[in-house]
Structure 1
Amino acid sequence: MTDILPAPEVYDFARPSTLAREHARVLELAFETFARQWGTQLTAKVRVVSQVTSEQVQIMTYDEYAASLPALTGMALLPIADTTPKGVLQVPLDAALTWVSHALGAARPLPTPDRTFTPIEQALVRKIVEDALDDLRYSFGGLLVHDVGVGGFQYNSQFAQAAQKGDLMIVASFSIRVGERIAPGTLALPAEAVLPQLGETATTVSPADARALLDAQLASVPVGVSLRLAPAAVLPSQVLSLAVGDVLPLPHPQHRPLTIAVDGEPVGTAAVGANGSRLAGIVVTTTSEQPA
């Protein structure tokens, strides 16, 4: 059976803008809480059992985020007080229209083509987004200190001017299940509105510190140690004809210490000894003490 490996992620060394591990975990928890709250809110609004699952949190430029979206999609722009870039809550247009149909009482809405919202549909979608922002404020707590509102709607991801191309955005991807329909969605927040509340994290260390940290980590990693006799060379025919009771002579003198090996690499020698009721190796020499 062949194991299915996860798809590799491309890392751009020219733009190493990544979230620190502790920051990423805090944001993942916040978005997971938001997803649960939003799923409950959607169930109440559209009157169909709904579930929202947070799938991934990453940081990217607004230009990269916009390029990752379908050309025609629903984008609610989210102005944030004291912050120039806007946030974006994005869902497919046909999925949002299905939610509206459910909210208006349709048990099984017909498939809807991708089209922009009518004024009535836009008002209903706006209410859904406003309720989602209440869940966002609750889930983020002190991570989002500025007021977030609902601005206009955009339908072309390439022309929506929520932020400058190079502005960093924290982007969360969601799987939104409403009834039998599953749709992808994203929520993008300007990094400058969230990261200051996460605190400072040391992103670089001096070469001396890096060596000390590496040595400390390696010192705590368990490794397998073996004691080896000198190897014996035998012919394949001898191996194939081995039987119970056969004796293989070993070219290892009785007075010669055994080799201490770690992952196959010799690091010293040891004599056979005992530690209570167990066999033990008494270190005789280490690699640094052995003659070149």
Structure 2
Amino acid sequence: MRIEERAQAPEAGPRIEVYDFGRPATLAREHARSLEMAFETFARQWATQLTDKTRVRAQVGLEHVSLMTYGEYADSLPHTTTLVACALPDAEPSTVVQFPLTAALSWIIQMVGGRPVDAAEERPLTPIEQALIRHLMADALENLTSALGGLFPRGLAVSGIQYSPQFAQLASAGDPVIVARFSLRLAERSVPASIMLPAGPVLDRLSSASPEAPVQNAPGLIRRQIEDTPVELAVRLAAMPVHPADVLGLSVGDVLHLPHAADRPLDLVAGDVPVATAAVGTSGARLACVITSITSSPHADHPEELR
């Protein structure tokens, strides 16, 4: 057998992702539930509005609410879709209402008195069609800010309509955003839709409206969490430096002379940090260690430094 055939691809090591506390990866349970309730209220109001405007019974259901980056949101959308960019007064667009372009064309036909049809063509909207969509979205945005209550400022208005998520550039790719996914059903047709909000202002208002714990209790909570977190302890002999050649030359029966005196206690370590010294003992049929001294901590005389 050739060496190439015996060789195996090295196993991929564990992927380590650095957690950014300034940009949490998920929504807190309380925050997620508050947003779900607000978007469920909006879904009912949006369904009523679409039914009234298009004269076709509409149903809008909330699928889920998630926290992601703007780049991830843009990549999750179709290459061509309707992106209604929205902005607050005197501000850049930062909110998006998204739905399929074919759905927008069908709504326009029904709003001007046409029969319900499934538009198969995807094309940019004409100025008149854009005006109709802006009129349709104006009421939807008012319902959205009303449903969110104090979680989002009022005054949201349509600032433009775009069709390519990759070229919209309404935020930096790494900016955190809150995305609500919906299922829109008009007559017999069901299509996906979504709403994107900037995460910063919403999360700040959520934290102010329903803080999980008083800020002054944060140090105590952190200390309690650290104290309740399990750690592994080990007893360790004094280390002996060797050369790589010595390690590669080891064989069964070799004797290593450790620089650890027989009457010297062992080190009790947590990770690589010494916490105590111990002597070897027994507990029934098991080996045990008897603590002989506690290693002094640099914070032992100044506990206030840990607060």
In the alignment, what sits opposite 1:72? 80
Q: Which residue of 195, 204, 209 corresponds with 2:225?
A: 209
Query: How many aligned positions are there?
Result: 207
Question: Over the residues paired in the alignment, what is the CA RMSD in angstroms?
Answer: 2.6
Q: Secondary structure at the match of 2:64?
A: strand
% same residue? 46
For each residue in 1:62-92, what CA deviation from the matched residue of structure 2 results, as whole angstroms up to 9, or x when unmatched?
1111111111110010113476561000101
Q: Which residue of 52, 65, 71 corresponds with 1:63?
A: 71
* Structure 1 residue 291 displacement after superposition: 5.3
In the alignment, what sits opposite 2:38? 30
Q: Which residue of 176, 186, 196 corresponds with 2:194?
A: 186
Classify 1:116/1:14 alpha carbon distance in 2 versus 1 (closer, same or farther; 3 Å): farther
Q: Which residue of 123, 138, 150 corresponds with 2:131?
A: 123
Paired with 2:159 and 2:139, the residues of 1 have a C-alpha distance of: 14
In the alignment, what sits opposite 1:195? 203
Classify 1:38/1:12 alpha carbon distance in 2 versus 1 (closer, same or farther; 3 Å): farther
Paired with 1:206 and 1:135, the residues of 2 have a C-alpha distance of: 40
Q: Secondary structure at the match of 1:75?
A: strand
Matched, 1:44 2:52: yes
Which has the higher mean CA deviation after the structures are superposed, 81-90 or 197-206?
A: 197-206
In the alignment, what sits opposite 2:156? 148
Classify 1:12/1:175 alpha carbon distance in 2 versus 1 (closer, same or farther; 3 Å): farther
* Structure 1 residue 194 displacement after superposition: 1.0
Q: Secondary structure at the match of 1:76?
A: strand
Q: Which runs of 5+ in 1 are unaligned?
A: 1-10, 215-289
Paired with 2:177 and 2:147, the residues of 1 have a C-alpha distance of: 18
Q: Which amino acid aligns with 1:169?
A: V
Matched, 1:101 2:109: yes
Paired with 1:85 and 1:168, the residues of 2 have a C-alpha distance of: 15
Matched, 1:86 2:94: yes
* Structure 1 residue 210 displacement after superposition: 5.0
Q: Would you say the 8 A contact 1:81–1:146 is kept in 2?
A: no
Q: Which residue of 129, 138, 148 corresponds with 2:146?
A: 138
Q: Would you say the 8 A contact 1:82–1:146 is kept in 2?
A: no
Q: Which amino acid aligns with 1:89?
A: V
